[in-house]
Chains A and B, each alone.
Chain A
Amino acid sequence: MSLPKQSTLRVFAAKLRGFFGVQRHDEFDDEMQEHLRLLTERFESRSMSKKEAAAAARRQFGNLTLLQEDRRGLQTFLSVEALWHDLRYSLRTLRKSRGFAAVSILTLGLGIGAATAIFSVIENVLLEPFPYKGAERMVFPRLHNAQETEEGGRQGYTPNEVLEFTETNNVFDGITAAAEDLVLYKHGEGTDQLYGAHVTPGTFEFFGMPVLHGRVLQRGDYEPGAPPVFVMRYKTWRERFSGDLSILNTTLDLNGIPRTLVGIMPPRFGWYEADILIPEKLRREAKGSFADSPEIWFMLGRLKPGVSRQQAEADLSVIANRLAKIYPQDYPARFTVQVRKLGDAVIGRFESTLYTVLAAVGLLLLIACSNVANLMLARATTREKELVLRAALGAGRARLVRLLMVESLVLAIAGAMLGIFIAWGGLKALVAVMPQNLIPTESVIELNAPVLAFALAIAVLTPLLFGLAPALQSSRRDTSKGIGGGFRGGWLRDAVVVTEVALSLTLLVGAGLLMRSFVALREVPLGLRADHVFQAVLPLPPDRYKTPEQATAFFRPLLARLKTLPGVVDAAASSAFPPYGGEPSKLQVAGKAHGEDWQAMLQQASQEYFHVLRIEFKEGRGFSEAEVNDARRVAVVNATFARKYLPNENPIGQRVRLASLDTLAGQARAPWFEIVGVVADVTNNGLQSPIEPEVWLPYSIPGSRAQVILVRTSQDPATMLNTVRQAVWATDSGVAVAYPGTLVDRIGERLYAGPRFGFVLMTIFGSIGLILVTVGLYSVLAYSTSQKAHEIGIRMALGAERTDVLGMVIRSGLRFVLAGLAIGIVVSLLLGRLVSAQLVGVTAYDPATLAVMTLLLTLTAAIACWIPARRAARVDPAIALRYE
């Protein structure tokens, strides 16, 4: 039999419906009506009357209504239609119990939100930080001195080395190299600095990211005699050129060479953190040693698929050992080649923190789920009549479980939506307090597709955690038994509440400790006044500023000009910024013999330095203007220096000699510096480490590398950039103002950002824990009091006062709280050892923090107990007793 022709569209629609298991009512009914009609026709053709025929047909067909009922029974088993029905029903019942729905959704929202936020940090920072082709196989080699115990090693290579590694390795399917180039960009108004990178041919093919505007660098751009071109990073284009597309294909004066901008990269391209990328082809150098190399290159290779890091280390070791024979002075006697993953340097320290946080957040989510499970159980008791009625009317157990699970799913999805919203807001806050130097520039922390999928997966999985047990529990009730039969997992529920209290106390104590530590950190005296100071780096063009005389010839008029500006109080030049000292150098003090190496941080400064930063003199004086102008051999040391190297002596008049200056050519003439002053200690090695000895010398001496200006202002230093820049350009239009900012911001970023992040995170989790504990206690007590309504009724009938009932309920709640607090205190004390490394000015066993947090938790718990207790006390004995 051949099928008659069909409309393809209709067939498709039918198949689609079939696929989703949907069959429209009328389709089925139509089919049966048609059948009836055909039967009637048949009987009519057997010479029956119309009426008789219709009756006969109905007889032969059977009961139409019954059949339709059958069909519904069959179809509601799995059909979407029935799910839709359950869904609408769930929404209706949840609308009726708004309080329950709101608390459940809020609880789940907090749990899912926290988990989603932390997962998106992990996803964007640890899992997929780099948007490059095969980024997970990108590695860089470093030469680790086997005699050094510390991590690290040489990561910079000469062109000869890069070429040797590139040409003879067997493990990479691509290698790119980059060398730093501080580019001075001269324009109509003055000069700006751009952080440039020279990149080798094939760099853009290596990363495999398409350009945003224009084109990437191509083979021809690297050839000698090719017109000079460059490519710009998105961030630089937006921030420095206000995203103006008309600069594409224009020519900029970069380090004196007119270069054409041919391309702008997309936002997440951040190779070498470079503002601009300049093509350069490596050539073998005749000498080829590290010291002779004009540029030092950082190498990044992409491992061939399936090649392990160990294999790569073995292969590269062969090459490195060959190179070590050619350039023995550049290699340690014993060394290993370590292959590190791209991003390791940045992410490494952060990784364990993030996973710990994720574990904590996972716990919070579990607690949130158990809370909602408790809430559902509590609610099931009030719904018991409804469920019993449904079961009596013929709803199967599977059907009831499904209905309850659909309700859970509705709650979870609403919770997930709220959670995504919370995560979205939380991420903004998180990114704001996250230390920027801990995450790669390429990673954008956002709610992307994998993160949303994660939230959705939680939403689908959590009902199994919080909904299944109560659903099975409530549907298990025997219809004949009616009310009765308590929740068998009672101990589990109690344990959950105790755990919640314990965990919450642990989180709160952690948050409290970090908060106190942060406050203590803020109170650590820096030894200087950082407010109202503007600071910037002025990289002097090396071709015109070779000698210290040339540098002072720039700085002296600049500082004088700055001091005359409105809003400026004073200005100084220096070789380093607070809160860190200068370069470390070995030293000698005249007439003092010592066994171990003496070391100090070495900084050069103008005479105004100490005054601009309000650094206090303990003894002696600062540099005079004449001493600085004449580059006299004078020095100022800090108190630690005097205490450590010149104890019980007058340091003034003693002479020091600094090894790092000796190595400079022509320094042998007058290597001794006379100490003229001792200043109070200024933080120069971070807040948690002891202060290092430090020496200041006039910035006019040979070997000085002064390039920093510090300007004390009477107005907000953040508004000074333009004023300072005009003054700098008026002095020399070829000098750029780089890394401008306020000293407060810089110190905050360096010293306080990390601790603040930990403290903010812990406070957030502590607060969430507190909310969850409140909900948890409330739901358990609400459940148990509703179970005990009868008992309470009897007690009251027998003469118990309302206050007795109140006390009874609160006592039963506080039992959990006390158990949880005891465990929480023990856990906090045990974990104290772990956080103690991050604490300043407070011990991990701080009794005040423990007491305050315990009190806070107890008070919150008391409120959570009081609400159901008050409700229980309001029970009318007459009604409560009538229940049975």
Chain B
Amino acid sequence: MDANKSEVLQGTLDLMILKTLHGLGPLHGFGIARRIEQISRDVLQLNEGTVYTSLLRLRHQKWITAEWGVSENNRKAKFYSITKRGLKQLELEAKNWARISDVIGRVLQLEPEGKS
């Protein structure tokens, strides 16, 4: 496996999908995978199939809804879009994420005490 690629952290995929749907509007699964790939600039190692289980989970939570539509190349595809509840959840998770990454960032910046 490519050493420069990281595994997607547990639970962050949901957040990424929510944010993607929030930013781009209704998308099908393939589109979501492409978008994440594009944004992560190939840093993240994404098993694209897990997008679908994540989508299922999000639908169970009623954070997204799905509707049948026709894709750009004229094929039947399911389009997912974020719901009001999903928006709230996104806001909440985004804040959480910011807080955690902030904390982790600070933890990582700590210099060993004896050295200073």
Please report A residues at the B interface, Cβ cutoff 8 Å.
Answer: 1, 3-7, 10-11, 14-15, 18, 23, 27-28, 31-32, 34-35, 38-39, 60-64, 67, 70-71, 74-75, 77-78
B33 engages A35 (CB within 8 Å): yes
A32 engages B52 (CB within 8 Å): yes
Partner of A10, one of B27, B33, B60, B68: B68
A67 engages B57 (CB within 8 Å): no
B65 engages A74 (CB within 8 Å): no
C-alpha gap A10/B29 in the complex (Å): 19
B22: Cβ under 8 A from any A Cβ: no
Using Cβ atoms and an 8 Å threshold, which residues of chain B touch A3?
26, 67, 69, 79
C-alpha gap A35/B49 in the complex (Å): 8
Cβ-closest chain A residue relative to B53: A70
Partner of A67, one of B50, B65, B69, B71: B50
B102: Cβ under 8 A from any A Cβ: no
Beyond A31-B52, A34-B75, A67-B53, whether A18 also contacts B65 by CB under 8 A is: yes
- 9 cross-chain pairs, A with B, having the tightest CB-CB distances, nearest first: A62-B47, A62-B49, A4-B70, A67-B49, A61-B49, A70-B53, A61-B48, A1-B25, A38-B30
Beyond A3-B26, A6-B68, A6-B70, whether A75 also contacts B48 by CB under 8 A is: no
Q: What is the minimal beta-carbon distance from A459 to any residue of chain B, in angstroms?
A: 29
Q: What is the minimal beta-carbon distance from B75 to any residue of chain A, in angstroms?
A: 7
Using Cβ atoms and an 8 Å threshold, which residues of chain B touch A28?
52, 56
B16: Cβ under 8 A from any A Cβ: no
Q: List 23 A-B contacts (CB under 8 A).
A: A3-B26, A4-B69, A4-B71, A6-B67, A7-B68, A10-B68, A11-B67, A18-B66, A28-B52, A31-B52, A32-B52, A35-B29, A39-B30, A60-B46, A61-B47, A61-B48, A61-B49, A62-B48, A64-B49, A67-B52, A74-B53, A74-B60, A78-B60
Partner of B26, one of A1, A32, A70: A1
The residue in B26, B57, B68 that gathers the most chain A C-beta atoms within 10 A of its C-beta is: B68
Using Cβ atoms and an 8 Å threshold, which residues of chain A touch B60?
74, 77-78
Cβ-closest chain B residue relative to A7: B68
C-alpha gap A78/B59 in the complex (Å): 13
Given contacts A14-B68, A61-B48, A62-B50, 8 further A-B contacts (CB under 8 A): A3-B26, A14-B67, A15-B67, A27-B78, A34-B77, A39-B48, A61-B49, A75-B56
Using Cβ atoms and an 8 Å threshold, which residues of chain B touch A5?
70
Partner of A11, one of B68, B71, B77: B68
B24: Cβ under 8 A from any A Cβ: yes
Using Cβ atoms and an 8 Å threshold, which residues of chain B touch A61?
47-49
Using Cβ atoms and an 8 Å threshold, which residues of chain A touch B48?
35, 39, 60-62
Q: What is the minimal beta-carbon distance from B51 to any residue of chain A, in angstroms?
A: 8
Q: Which B34-53 residues sit within 8 Å CB-CB of chain A? A: 46-50, 52-53
Cβ-closest chain B residue relative to A15: B67
Number of interface residues of B (CB under 8 A): 29
Q: What is the minimal beta-carbon distance from B19 to any residue of chain A, in angstroms?
A: 16
Using Cβ atoms and an 8 Å threshold, which residues of chain A touch B77?
31, 34
Q: What is the minimal beta-carbon distance from A80 to any residue of chain B, in angstroms?
A: 13
Using Cβ atoms and an 8 Å threshold, which residues of chain A touch B33?
35
Q: What is the minimal beta-carbon distance from B38 to any residue of chain A, in angstroms?
A: 13
CB-CB contacts of B63-105 with A at 8 A, as 1s and 0s? Answer: 0011111110001011100000000000000000000000000
C-alpha gap A415/B96 in the complex (Å): 52
Number of A-B contacts (CB under 8 A): 78
B79 engages A31 (CB within 8 Å): no
Beyond A6-B68, A32-B49, whether A74 also contacts B30 by CB under 8 A is: no
A35 engages B30 (CB within 8 Å): yes
Using Cβ atoms and an 8 Å threshold, which residues of chain B touch A1?
24-27
Beyond A31-B29, A31-B78, A61-B47, whether A71 also contacts B52 by CB under 8 A is: yes
Please report B residues at the A interface, Cβ cutoff 8 Å.
Answer: 24-27, 29-30, 33, 46-50, 52-53, 56-57, 59-60, 65-71, 75, 77-79
Q: What is the minimal beta-carbon distance from B45 to any residue of chain A, in angstroms?
A: 9
Cβ-closest chain B residue relative to A14: B68
B30 engages A34 (CB within 8 Å): yes
Q: What is the minimal beta-carbon distance from A600 to any residue of chain B, in angstroms?
A: 83
B57 engages A74 (CB within 8 Å): yes
Using Cβ atoms and an 8 Å threshold, which residues of chain A touch B66?
14, 18
B68 engages A63 (CB within 8 Å): no
Q: What is the minimal beta-carbon distance from B90 to any residue of chain A, in angstroms?
A: 18
Using Cβ atoms and an 8 Å threshold, which residues of chain A touch B57?
74
C-alpha gap A75/B47 in the complex (Å): 20
Using Cβ atoms and an 8 Å threshold, which residues of chain B touch A62?
47-50
C-alpha gap A15/B50 in the complex (Å): 24
Using Cβ atoms and an 8 Å threshold, which residues of chain A touch B25?
1
C-alpha gap A27/B59 in the complex (Å): 15
Q: What is the minimal beta-carbon distance from B46 to any residue of chain A, in angstroms?
A: 8
Cβ-closest chain A residue relative to B48: A61
C-alpha gap A1/B69 in the complex (Å): 13
Using Cβ atoms and an 8 Å threshold, which residues of chain A touch B46?
60
B47 engages A60 (CB within 8 Å): yes
Cβ-closest chain B residue relative to A38: B30
Q: What is the minimal beta-carbon distance from A56 to any residue of chain B, in angstroms?
A: 12
Q: What is the minimal beta-carbon distance from A691 to any residue of chain B, in angstroms?
A: 79
A6 engages B47 (CB within 8 Å): no
B56 engages A74 (CB within 8 Å): yes
C-alpha gap A11/B65 in the complex (Å): 12
Cβ-closest chain A residue relative to B32: A35
A71 engages B56 (CB within 8 Å): yes
C-alpha gap A569/B56 in the complex (Å): 91
Partner of A6, one of B27, B29, B69: B69
Using Cβ atoms and an 8 Å threshold, which residues of chain B touch A70?
53
C-alpha gap A61/B68 in the complex (Å): 22
C-alpha gap A77/B67 in the complex (Å): 22
C-alpha gap A4/B60 in the complex (Å): 25
C-alpha gap A32/B49 in the complex (Å): 7
Using Cβ atoms and an 8 Å threshold, which residues of chain A touch B69?
3-4, 6
Cβ-closest chain A residue relative to B55: A31
The residue in B27, B69, B71 that gathers the most chain A C-beta atoms within 10 A of its C-beta is: B69
Cβ-closest chain B residue relative to A23: B56
Using Cβ atoms and an 8 Å threshold, which residues of chain B touch A6?
67-70
Using Cβ atoms and an 8 Å threshold, which residues of chain A touch B50?
62, 67
Cβ-closest chain A residue relative to B72: A4
Using Cβ atoms and an 8 Å threshold, which residues of chain B touch A4?
69-71
Using Cβ atoms and an 8 Å threshold, which residues of chain B touch A75?
56
Cβ-closest chain A residue relative to B78: A31
Cβ-closest chain A residue relative to B46: A60
Using Cβ atoms and an 8 Å threshold, which residues of chain B touch A64?
49
C-alpha gap A14/B67 in the complex (Å): 7
Q: What is the minimal beta-carbon distance from B11 to any residue of chain A, in angstroms?
A: 15
Using Cβ atoms and an 8 Å threshold, which residues of chain B touch A18?
59, 65-66
A63 engages B49 (CB within 8 Å): yes
Q: What is the minimal beta-carbon distance from A53 to any residue of chain B, in angstroms?
A: 15
Cβ-closest chain A residue relative to B74: A4
C-alpha gap A23/B52 in the complex (Å): 13
Using Cβ atoms and an 8 Å threshold, which residues of chain B touch A14?
66-68
C-alpha gap A27/B48 in the complex (Å): 17
C-alpha gap A346/B69 in the complex (Å): 66
The residue in A1, A38, A74 that gathers the most chain B C-beta atoms within 10 A of its C-beta is: A38
Cβ-closest chain A residue relative to B56: A74
B53 engages A71 (CB within 8 Å): yes
C-alpha gap A63/B78 in the complex (Å): 21
C-alpha gap A3/B25 in the complex (Å): 10
Using Cβ atoms and an 8 Å threshold, which residues of chain B touch A35?
29-30, 33, 48-49, 52
C-alpha gap A680/B87 in the complex (Å): 95
Using Cβ atoms and an 8 Å threshold, which residues of chain B touch A27?
78
Using Cβ atoms and an 8 Å threshold, which residues of chain B touch A74?
53, 56-57, 60
C-alpha gap A442/B52 in the complex (Å): 62
Q: What is the minimal beta-carbon distance from A97 to any residue of chain B, in angstroms?
A: 35
Cβ-closest chain A residue relative to B67: A11
Q: What is the minimal beta-carbon distance from A55 to any residue of chain B, in angstroms?
A: 14
Q: What is the minimal beta-carbon distance from B1 to any residue of chain A, in angstroms?
A: 10
Q: What is the minimal beta-carbon distance from A20 to any residue of chain B, in angstroms?
A: 13
Using Cβ atoms and an 8 Å threshold, which residues of chain B touch A10?
68
Cβ-closest chain A residue relative to B28: A31
